Amino acid sequence: MGEPEESLWLDEQAGPVVRPYAMTAGRTRPTRGEFDLIALVVATRAVTGAEPGLSPEHVEIMGLCRRPLSVAEIAAHLDLPIGIVRVLLGDLLDRELILARAPALVTDQPSERVFKAVINGLRAL
Amino acid sequence: MDNAILPVALKILVAGGFGVGKTTLVGSVSEIRPLRTEEYLTDESVGVDDLSGVEHKHTTTVAMDFGRITISEHLVLYLFGTPGQDRFWFVWDELASGAIGAIVLADTRRLADCFPSVDYFERRGTPFIVAVNCFDGARRYEPEQVQHALDLDPGIPVVLCDARTRESSKQALIALLEHVMAASTVAG
């Protein structure tokens, strides 16, 4: 008698998975770039409307990144999973529409000067 | 990569048991309302994560709440609350990678809830402090008692805080940064 309901792949919970990855044409990894959660991204020029090859999500990212934003913030604002956003950012990096800066590596811990700057900044909050 | 126009981003983690006030702490010091970002559990992560008990779920998302503090035009600090402690270690690994340190929030009424976080950061070698979130109605303990109860290395600071107030959360962050700085001076 048919599959138990639990083993059906396509249920209401499956919906969100299908749609975002359709947005990336099924790609789960960016063509370029690592895009750490706190890598900062900024647009290199204004993209306000549709351009060939850019999806509405690409355009939205370009709008958000007029000021530097982290990958995590972009994902939160777009309400898309991080993995999807990384693919979209890779497309924009390919087209040189964004610059990205990887976070400071902790293998070489930030200098004492950086720590002091952060502590002073926090005290001033 | 053009480093001239983009600031450097630093990351601090806020860990601890469910309901201990991680997002409250992030929200009290963040300049933005805490944001939520989600990651899907993919096939790649299923292999390394213990999914026992959730096999029947076809899609599992892991939510992370985070906030931002702009220190200067050159420095931005991100605070990430870590998701559920006993699962989703792959997300923890991604979060902990590159983090300058962690605050483990503890509730003295449920002290054992923070053991997995303490164990994780000890194993990984991520510098951390323990901040006891002083809930209304909870009996007050001295930091030394908490340190003893958690069997912490004597070098790990324990501070009392009220995650709801900006000043208190700020002091916990400053305590962490001073600890990290002292530790790196010793190591270097």
Provide the pLDDT for residue B1: 45
- A102 and B CB contact within 8 Å: yes
Structure confidence at residue A105 as a pLDDT band (50, 70, 90): low
- In this structure, what DSSP letter does residue A24 have? T
Q: Is the pLDDT of residue A92 over 90?
A: yes
Residues 144-173 of B with CB under 8 A from A: 166, 170, 173
Q: What is the pLDDT of residues A39-87, one digit of tens each?
A: 999 999 999 888 898 999 999 999 999 999 999 999 999 999 999 999 9
Strand pairing report for B35-40 and B61-72: antiparallel
What residues does each domain of chain B span?
8-187
Average of per-residue pLDDT across A10-39: 73
What is the DSSP annotation of A37-106?
TT-EEEESS---S--TT--HHHHHHHHHTTS-EEHHHHHHHHT--HHHHHHHHHHHHHTT-EEEEPPPPS
What residue of A is the nearest CA neighbor of B61? A81
Mutation for testing the B interface, residue in A10, A44, A45, A70 having most B CBs under 10 Å: A70
Chain A closest-CA separation from residue B141 CA (Å): 26
Across the range A106-122, mean pLDDT stands at 82
Q: Give pLDDT, residue B164.
A: 95
Task: Report the 10 Å Cβ neighbour count for A117.
Answer: 16
pLDDT greater than 70 at residue A18: no
Nearest-Cα residue of chain A relative to residue B188: A109
Token duo for residue B168: 């208190």
Asked whether the beta carbons of residue A37 and residue B77 sit closer than 8 angstroms, the reply is: no
DSSP B47-109: TTS--TT-TT-S--EEEEEEEEEEEETTEEEEEEEPP-SSS-HHHHHHHHTT--EEEEEE-GG
CB proximity under 8 Å: A 2-31 to B = 6, 9, 11, 13-14, 16-17, 28
User: Which of B1, B6, B95, B174 should we substitute to test contact with A (largest number of A Cβ atoms within 10 Å)?
Assistant: B6
B29 interaction partners in chain A (CB closer than 8 Å): 122, 125
Domain boundaries, chain A: 5-123
What CA–CA distance (Å, rounded) separates A92 from A59? Answer: 10
Q: CB pairs below 8 Å between A and B: how many? A: 143
Long-range contacts of range A73-82, CB-CB < 8 Å, 24 or more positions apart?
A: A73/B35, A73/B37, A73/B68, A74/A41, A75/B37, A75/B38, A76/B35, A76/B36, A76/B37, A76/B66, A77/B35, A80/A20, A80/A23, A81/A20, A81/B37, A81/B38, A81/B39, A81/B40, A81/B61, A82/A37, A82/B37, A82/B38, A82/B39
pLDDT confidence of A91, banded at 50, 70, 90?
A: very high
Closest residue on chain B to A79 (Cα): B37
pTM for this prediction: 0.84
Q: Kindly report the average pLDDT of chain A as a whole number.
A: 84
Does residue A100 belong to the interface with chain B, where contact is any CB pair within 8 Å?
A: yes
**Would the pLDDT of A2 be above 50?**
no
Mark the ranges of chain B whose per-residue pLDDT is less than 50. 1-2, 43-58, 188
Q: Which of A36, A76, A104 sits opposite B37 (nearest CB)?
A: A76
* The pLDDT of residue A17: 54
For the cut 80, the answer to whether the pLDDT of residue A120 exceeds it is: yes
- pLDDT-derived band at A90 (thresholds 50, 70, 90) equals very high
pLDDT at B158: 97
Q: Do A13 and B58 touch (CB under 8 A)?
A: yes
**Widest distance between CA atoms in chain B:** 52
Chain B closest-CA separation from residue A50 CA (Å): 26
> Which secondary structure element, helix H or strand E, spans residue B154, and what is its range?
none
Whether residues A109 and B180 touch (CB distance < 8 A) is answered with: yes
CATH assignment of B8-187? 3.40.50.300
